[in-house]
Amino acid sequence: MLQFISMAQAFGEIEKHASRQSLPTVLVPLEEAVGRVLAEPAVATLSIPPFDNSARDGVVLSASGLSAATRGSPVSLAGELRAGDSLEVANGIEGDAVRIMTGAPVPLWAESIVMIEDLTLNADGTATINRLPESGAWIRPKGSDIAEMSVILKPGRQIIPEHVQALASSGVVEAVINVKPRVGICSTGEELVDVKLGPPGSGQIYDSNRPFMTAMMRSFGCDVVVNEHVGDTLDEMVGFLNRVMETSLDLVVSSGAVSMGSYDFVKPALEAVGADIVFHKVTQKPGKPLLFAILPNGTLYFGLPGNPVSTVVNCRFYVHYALSVMQHEPLETPIRFRLENDIEKPQGLAVFLKARCIRGEGGALVRALEGQESFQTMPLLEMNGWIVLSEHVGSMQAGELVNFYPSNPRGLSDIF
């Protein structure tokens, strides 16, 4: 078991173990794939556009029509092409020029298209070209957007409605996605009262980690299969571990009972059931007593310290990282922003600071908020992300560039 490891080492250990896990996949209709992670490449069954077509309402000119227009002569219109007309109809029309609508197929003989704003339609069935088109103007060539049989979306991408637009147009009607990761969560602590059963009695507090973890795991696209609270005894913790092992989960997260207190039973319980404890304690603030283990059946286990902000940070960064690795998602990279205020920080300890990115006149700035202690939840309502500073840096001054991660990790998933 590793102890007091660095943030980077912790991510490295998680990657090593999470990359050995794989999730089952399922084929679903495209609309149902939104929010899920693509498991197999999506391949275009059609070129986009599927045929040369017109980008404007106007007139399509042949080579002879174009030379007539260049001489300043009106061109006679041999017919009309609308969206939905076949290529055979388009190629069957002969002449100098044809009236054409947006999306209509362009005849093989077409030189260029003149948009309606650049011509005059005359009463005698001719058109006067007021502005000469460049060669190929307003013709959308076949395959210029998407090429048939090309991989248009790679595995690991979380599907968003914009993807559905491009996939559907190229004939992809179904997608192979990862089945939702099956997770278990539990909070520990005799002092806790279920939010649905309050109010807390003397010496008690509401259990906020459990609703948080439920919400966060769902926002990560997981299915929360086991959701419990256990008391501060070794027996109860062992009972919980045995239950999750029977349920065959991908990942389990508990909060509390991983520090140095007399009632911190997570580690002894993991040892009692024969789990492999990979590491305990990361040189970071908040959330230092983070524990990562592998249960005997292969399930990943995260023991998060119970302070509310420690639970948020460790879930947001380490648990999310494990889920990303398991689903082959592109790994998150930070946005670099300039600091608005000074930050005091000891060297040798990584910090996660509740922060707010503000769009100012001179560009975006990021501010570390007041109230950084791990029990202080009020700033969670104001923040929109985290400033993350590694062990290697010391205090920072206003104006310096820092790494910023949005509260919602998916917010950055497409910037890499």
With CB cut-offs between 5 and 8 Å by kind, which of Mg ion, ligand AMP, none does residue 259 bind? ligand AMP
Query: DSSP labels for 44-97?
Result: -SS-BSSS-EESSSEEEE-HHHHHHHHHT--EEEEEEE-TT--HHHHHH--SSE
Among 187, 299, 314, 327, binds ligand AMP (CB under 6 A): 187
Residue span binding ligand AMP (CB under 6 A) among the ranges 106-114, 123-131, 299-307, 380-388 = 299-307
Contact 331, 416 (CB under 8 A): yes
* Least distance (Å) between residue 400 CB and ligand AMP: 32
Q: Which is nearer to Mg ion, 6 or 233 (CB)?
A: 233
* 261 binds ligand AMP, rule: CB under 6 A: yes
Kindly write out the interface string for residues 135-164 of this chain, putting x where it contacts Mg ion by CB under 5 A and - elsewhere: ------------------------------
> Could you tell me whether strands 119-121 and 126-129 are parallel, antiparallel, or unpaired per DSSP bridges?
antiparallel
Q: Which residues contact 84 (CB under 8 A, 6 or more apart)?
A: 103, 104
The partner in contact with residue 372, picked from ligand AMP, Mg ion, none with C-beta cut-offs of 5 to 8 angstroms by kind, is none
- Phi (first) and psi of residue 99, to 5 degrees: -65, 135
Check binding of 259 to ligand AMP (CB under 6 A).
yes
Query: Which of the listed partners (ligand AMP, Mg ion, none) does 379 bind, with a CB threshold of 5 to 8 Å by partner kind?
Result: none
Question: To the nearest whole angstrom, how small is the minimum distance from the Cβ of residue 255 to Mg ion?
Answer: 9
Closest to ligand AMP by CB, 52 or 232: 232
Q: Binding of ligand AMP at residue 189 (CB under 6 A)?
A: yes
Residue 307's binding partner among ligand AMP, Mg ion, none (Cβ under 5 to 8 angstroms by kind) is ligand AMP
CB nearer to ligand AMP: give 215 or 415: 215
Closer residue to ligand AMP (CB): 311 or 327: 311
Element (H, E) at 311: helix 308-314
Smallest distance, Mg ion to C-beta of residue 380, A: 20
CA dihedral 233, 238, 243, 246 (to 10 degrees): 180
Which of Mg ion, ligand AMP, none does residue 6 bind (CB under 5 to 8 Å by kind)? none
Distance CA 65, CA 72 (A): 11
* 276, β-bridge pairs: 294
Give the distance, in angstroms, between the CA of residue 71 and the centroid of all CA atoms in the same chain. 56
Which pair of structure tokens corresponds to residue 199? 């109010």
Per-residue x/- track, 250-279, Mg ion (CB under 5 A) = ------xx----------------------
Phi, psi for residue 118 in degrees, rounded to 5: -105, 15
Give me the sign of the Cα torsion angle 333, 310, 10, 369.
positive
Q: Is 325 helix (H, G, I), strand (E, B) or coil?
A: helix
The pair of three-digit structure tokens given for residue 118, joined into one six-digit string: 């650049």
Residue 189 touching Mg ion (CB under 5 A): yes
**At 347, which amino acid appears?**
Q
**Minimum CB–partner distance for residue 2 and ligand AMP (Å):** 20
Cβ closest to ligand AMP, residue 178 vs residue 374: 374
Which of 98, 113, 146, 192 contacts ligand AMP by CB under 6 A?
192
Q: What is the DSSP letter of 316?
A: I
Interacting positions 363-392 with ligand AMP (CB under 6 A):
none
Residue recorded with tokens 């008690």: 204
- Give bridge partners of residue 105 from the DSSP assignment: 53
256 scored as a contact of ligand AMP (CB under 6 A): yes
Note whether 345 and 396 are within 8 A (CB).
Answer: yes
Footprint of ligand AMP (CB under 6 A):
187, 189, 191-192, 205, 207-210, 255-257, 259, 261, 305-308
Footprint of Mg ion (CB under 5 A):
189, 256-257, 306
